[in-house]
A and B are shown apart, each in its own frame.
Chain A
């Protein structure tokens, strides 16, 4: 299998020595870019994936012996492209040998444009919009994004979501089959389509982050989501909501280590050790938040980031600017009138006007949120603060029964916060 030229005459140049781990790291970094380019060139996701994987095998063999090529990303893409052409020739030759020469490779497979296979950022933008196409189910969008853009192996994606590798492989195969059969286009949406097409992309990254945060997935998903959000900013620097998403993730990430006690039990905001919040991430998140709010195109992610920024600013829970938070929730609710946002707003109102007002607001959400553990937990907390301990205990019990993870169930069974069960 032909590898890329290592750069004419560069044999004499000093090369950086690399070990297998470093090759793996570079590959993870470059995988999405190379796969995205090869999909555009060959019009075939599987072929692109396999060819880039083959290039990885070649790199594992060559790089530790010969050193890193001057442009590793370009080397991978070129090597993978050559491999893909080889594979296509082989399968064409096989068909000819089998007397099936009439079979014509259709679509964008031939002729292979020999020009520009260099890194083109736009290809990754095409890829993300294809992976997150609204015609694909959310779990398929997430799996495709982590596999193709994030460069995780099928097994890694499966493990991250506690799904057996075989089932994850099936999910990916089904999604890729639909993309091929239904012709999900490989293109960047026009500006007028973005209001419909951007939200699923942002939602995929946010869902990946939250799966890592709440224990439904591996904690490594948090870092993966932040990496994807950074990539989205590179690809779409003018979209305020993209910047808002990264700001939001960084501000939540800054507090992640204080959200859980060593025992694994959740720690509520009021009881978190604020001295352990990551100031660097908070500063980054706040700077990004300010930058996008200046564009005056507020959206749900920017507003949520702004709410998190207010929390990050407060030295203690008590001195939090709750009025500002309620005002931000009012704006958020106007843009995204969902019952979960209404619940969070009600909780913030409780800190301004007291638990009685909040409980009144929370009660109105019961028809929509009766199956949501956080609704019952919020209700329980307000009832407890109002001295209605019997009702609070019942509500905590209900919250515990609905909570998604064992740690949360245990925490709610004990009555939330540090207090003991009623």
Chain B
């Protein structure tokens, strides 16, 4: 069964600031409901949340030396904040889950097919 990423992006400086505790609580409840639904439909694989982009470090090789730079790779205001890895038979099914997630979290969701998913090193996915 094909795998899709449902990715949520956050905009710098916007994370949760406009939300009251109550809003956040009800958002959590909505998200939990969708997650339970994903699970019972057999679509759930796993979910992941990331710390803000300010916590990222980029490692690269330049002139034979390993360099580290503070901050995320992409010079953008929008950064990956978290994602679900789901299984769905086709794009329509994945988009339907994406619609449920965006309704729950109030943020746009990028739905993107995986080219491969590997559970063992070298399995190719």
Contacts and interface: CB of A to CB of B under 8 A. Distances in A.
B113 to A, nearest CB: 4
A135 B93 CA distance: 12
A107 to B, nearest CB: 10
- Which applies to chain B's interface (DSSP): helix, strand, loop or mixed? mixed
Contacts of A341: none
Interface in A151-204: 181-185
A185 B90 contact: yes
Interface residues of A, number: 7
Choose among A133, A135, A181, A183 the residue with the greatest number of B CB atoms under 10 Å from its CB: A183
B1 to A, nearest CB: 10
A363 B93 CA distance: 45
A182 B113 contact: yes
Contacts of B34: none
B113 A185 contact: no
Nearest to A134: B95
B115 interface: yes
A135 B113 CA distance: 12
B116 to A, nearest CB: 11
A139 B112 CA distance: 20
A181 B95 contact: no
Contacts of B113: 181-183
B2 A183 contact: yes
- Which applies to chain A's interface (DSSP): helix, strand, loop or mixed? loop
A224 to B, nearest CB: 28
Nearest to A186: B90
Interface string A74-118: 000000000000000000000000000000000000000000000
A192 to B, nearest CB: 12
B92 interface: yes
A258 B54 CA distance: 63
A408 B112 CA distance: 42
B91 interface: yes
Contacts of B92: 184-185
B52 to A, nearest CB: 29
Contacts of A185: 90-92
B104 to A, nearest CB: 20
Contacts of A181: 113, 115
Nearest to B112: A182
A181 B112 CA distance: 9
B90 A184 contact: yes
A170 B55 CA distance: 39
Nearest to A133: B91
Contacts of A183: 2, 89-91, 113
Contacts of B112: 182
A135 B94 CA distance: 11
Contacts of A133: 91
Contacts of B95: 135
A176 to B, nearest CB: 14
Given A133-B91, A183-B89, A183-B113, 5 more contacts: A135-B91, A182-B91, A183-B90, A184-B92, A185-B91
Interface of B: 2, 89-92, 94-95, 112-113, 115
The 7 A-B pairs at the shortest CB distance, nearest first, are namely A185-B90, A183-B90, A182-B113, A182-B91, A184-B91, A183-B91, A181-B113
Interface of A: 133, 135, 181-185
